[in-house]
Amino acid sequence: MAETYQLLDGKKAAEALREEIAHATVGVKEKLGRAPHLAAVLVGEDGASKTYVASKVKACAKVGFQSTLVKKPADITEAELLEVVAQLNADPEVDGFIVQLPLPKHINEQKITLAIDPKKDVDGFHPMNLGRMVIGLPGYLPATPNGIVEMLRFYGIATSGKHCVVVGRSNIVGSPMSILMSRNADPGNCTVTLAHSRTVDLPSITRQADILIVAIGKPGFVTADMVKEGAVVVDVGIHRVADKSRSKGYRIVGDVDFASVAPKCTAITPVPGGVGPMTVASLLLNTLKAAR
């Protein structure tokens, strides 16, 4: 067993990235006569979404950005939300904006994503930005996958020639992550396996991973028997699990059973404090790009 593992502290890596962004922001302010401006649209009362959006607003203040939070009730109609998107697209003072997912069931997320101006799509979800990523053109990279790449860079995790297994194939994390890890870049140059809920004998696949990135959306899904000795594990999941022993009545856990998996790893991300802060920092990086 790996006696000690390195904790991939997303707060520390994000802090370093934020310092670079804050430094660059000074030049942008001089050129534009204003700070870069990120807007976030929050629909409904989803706990995890509220936490994320609050951290994004806080992060903007830290780097000298302006931020706007647009709150809408869960029963907003799709047409009304499309109108909000249209207003933000047209606002010359807003450099980039995000519509926090997931959205209520009666709203078509794809329709909303397609309505966002690709030039302001700092989440990197628009097909135009995803397409640019696939063929290696500059654009906005999806915030979470890019945050993970930046974290691997910060900690000097070797990726070239490694077998990277990504568990989860969402358009937001899993699919773009597999592309970024396989591209001819550093970090990158991995041999990538993209596994998901329909993968037959998933543990036999995950046990082959030098780098295991888990974004399947199930609390504590990956256990020690699914991870090989010395692997690097990145846990993208974030869940509130009821816990009466905590003052808040819940605790935050990831997709990986940290207690059992960590001793087998050379490096692993914690939840919370791992990928989350890097997602936010990556979003700021895209907003800076948009302002420029």
Does pTM surpass 0.75? Answer: yes
The whole-angstrom separation of Cα 173 and Cα 178 is 9
The whole-angstrom separation of Cα 124 and Cα 130 is 7
Spot the catalytic one: 100, 120, 162, 210. 100
Number of neighbouring beta carbons within 10 Å of residue 123: 26
75 included as an active-site residue: no
Domain with CATH 3.40.50.720 in the chain: 142-275
Residue range 174-197, pLDDT digits in tens: 999 999 999 999 999 999 999 999
Look at domain 33-117 and name its CATH class.
Answer: alpha beta
| Cα→Cα distances 82→110, 111, 116, 250, Å | 11, 8, 9, 34
62 included as an active-site residue: no
| Whether pLDDT at 255 is above 70 | yes
Spot the catalytic one: 95, 120, 121, 123. 123
Architecture of domain 142-275: 3-Layer(aba) Sandwich (3.40)
100 included as an active-site residue: yes
Domain with CATH 3.40.50.10860 in the chain: 33-117
Residue range 108-161, pLDDT digits in tens: 999 999 999 999 999 999 999 999 999 999 999 999 999 999 999 999 999 999
